[in-house]
Amino acid sequence: MVFWSNRNASFTAADVEAITRAKLDALSKLMNDEVYISREGVMTRSHAGTVITKRLLEADERLTIGIIASENDLSRSLVTEIVHQLQKEHPNDFLVRGDVVMPKKELESLRRDLNEQLEAEQAIDKIKFGSKRHIHLDVLEAIVSQVGATGLGNVIVSRSNAENFRNEFLNALKTLKTPTDVDGIKIAAPADVIKHLQSASWIAENVDRSIGSVINNRFVPRVYQNQETQGLLKGLQDGQPICLDDLKELGIRPQKLTKAPTIVLREHLLLQKCVDQIVQDCARELNSDGFSKLAEHVPEMGKQDTIAFVEDHLVPTLRGTVKGGLVVVPGEEYVVALKKNLDEIKNSIVQDFHQKGREFADSVSLEKVVNDSDINSISLHVVTEKQLQQEWNHQKHALPQTYIAMVVSKSVKDCNHAFTSTARAVIKERVAKLVQCDEAEVLAYLRGMRLVKSKDEKLYGKLQSELTAYASNNWARVDDNVKASLENDDPGHTEDILKHHYQSQSQVQQLEQQTEHLRVATVKSLQAQVQSAKDPALVLHLAVLIAFSSTSKGLLRATGKHVPKLIKLLQNLQYDPDTIQLFTSLKDAIVGGQPKDQLTEQVRSLVSQIK
């Protein structure tokens, strides 16, 4: 109802408007409706709704909130409020989206076009339809619901077709027995409809999980998933690792597969109890054989996971399980060994080379070896890693090649040291024994010479010259000071020099014993020569030396020309008179050219009894 206008009055319109504005609240109460002022006059809210409704029902083209507000001189907020209220009261007569108001005539035209196109086509492209008619997709969605159609992704189809397409697609899913790419699941429907139905989001919202689900863009039937899961669980219980990709394809998280404790690697899953069994088997092998080929116990699961399993799980657990220390052998065989076993094998190899060193040293000729310098100059065989490896390869054993290579690598230095140190030590021992033998011989001759010197200085001088010549040719290993003293000094002084470099009394006693042993052996040798000699002069010569040795407890180096003086010396030493007489008789017979056979045999018989 309009209360005034711009017609002539006693009050101006401005005056009336001012008065009215001051009384709006009173008017609203009087009218029992909200009252607003526009350029047409005073307008109630219900009248504004009627005006706007009429405008929307009669409009031929799209309107906006701003246009309606301007036409009626009303605020945008009021018009917005009224329009949205009218939208609820007349849902099919016009449509409000944001600032845009679509009037009834345009809506009816759009519905008519949409129905006609749906009758001609199974599916309508939303974007093309909206673009052609200049409407937003949300507006189109609202219209679609009003014409008995529905949206499937980017297309619009009738509700009956949509239901048929859904059912047909669901039936197609139910017939699947194995995982299938969703792109390969086809039905008799427009391509855009199929594409929408194939989406993981649509399947997740519309397909019961008892039928199946989309995993990695493949539809996995629930029956197949259950069967495969049971198979994987059985394999897992049997000690087989499960590939995580297999679980992923079935849409199963590793933590949800089983409640039993597991170990999750980069690509595989194992039961902890299976790992424990592997540890027990390897520990048993270690304790029985000293080593274990872990690769023979670890299930096949690729290089990366095998390395991770061995290094991060198996070896650390074994270290805490077995006693004796654990050594990891480098190489792809994944061999571990007990440290004590490795040490035993290494020590065995080293001992072999100690023995080889002894054998080599025993075979070395010492003819020209006199001192340490000569010993150090002896060329010794150097053991190489390759040679040691070849030597192992010729032996029968069950040790893995990588284990042998590790043992060889750790042993080659010690083997060389064992061989060279033992060889040089044995050679040094042999040389020391030769030196002691020579010194024992020197001592034996010194004792003989001491007795000569005490009785016959002249004879001593001649024999000393012969002994010095013998020493220069035969006693190269004897200390030079001893040899020099032998030539110039008293035998007793030379003996002191000889014994001086022996560090203990026991060593001196050992020298004394060896000297006596040498003297006895020399006497026996001379006795044997006496028995085999044919020349009476040689028999007498040897017999005199034997008799002198028994008296002096030493040895004497004297040529045959000294025999008469030696017989005289024995006589002066109060040697057995009968023996002296026999020696003298044989000497005279030899010199006089008389028969000597009987005397020679008597000497032979006598000499055999001397000790």
pTM of the model as a whole: 0.54
Rounded to the nearest 10 degrees, what angle do helices 45-58 and 76-89 cross at? Answer: 70
**For 585-601, how does the pLDDT look when each residue is reduced to its tens digit (9 = 90+)?**
999 999 988 878 899 99
CA separation for the pair 107, 89 (Å, rounded): 16
**For 496-520, how does the pLDDT look when each residue is reduced to its tens digit (9 = 90+)?**
888 887 878 898 899 889 999 999 9
**For 58-105, how does the pLDDT look when each residue is reduced to its tens digit (9 = 90+)?**
887 888 888 888 888 788 888 888 888 888 888 777 778 888 888 888
- Give yes or no for residue 522 having a pLDDT over 60: yes
pLDDT at position 1 is: 44
- Give yes or no for residue 524 having a pLDDT over 50: yes
**For 173-184, how does the pLDDT look when each residue is reduced to its tens digit (9 = 90+)?**
888 888 888 888
Element (H or E) spanning 417, and its range? helix 401-455
- Give yes or no for residue 533 having a pLDDT over 90: yes
pLDDT at position 6 is: 55
What's the pLDDT band for 19 if we cut at 50, 70, 90? low
Structure tokens at 449: 């010479």
- Give yes or no for residue 208 having a pLDDT over 90: no
| Residue in this structure with the two tokens 């009627």, named with its chain if needed | 50
CA separation for the pair 370, 476 (Å, rounded): 7
Short-list 160, 162, 158, CA closest to 197: 162
3-state secondary structure of 179: coil
Strand spans (E) along 163-267: 180-181, 212-215, 218-221, 242-243, 262-264
pLDDT at position 22 is: 63
Mean per-residue pLDDT over the chain, rounded: 83
Share of the chain above pLDDT 90, in %: 17
CA separation for the pair 568, 547 (Å, rounded): 12
- Give yes or no for residue 279 having a pLDDT over 60: yes
**What φ, ψ does residue 5 adopt, rounded to 5°?**
-145, -170
Which one is predicted more confidently, 53 or 394?
Answer: 53
C-beta pairs of 244-251 under 8 Å, 24+ apart in sequence: 244/268, 244/269, 248/215, 248/216, 249/179, 249/215, 249/216, 249/218, 249/220, 250/215, 250/220, 250/225, 251/213, 251/215, 251/220, 251/225
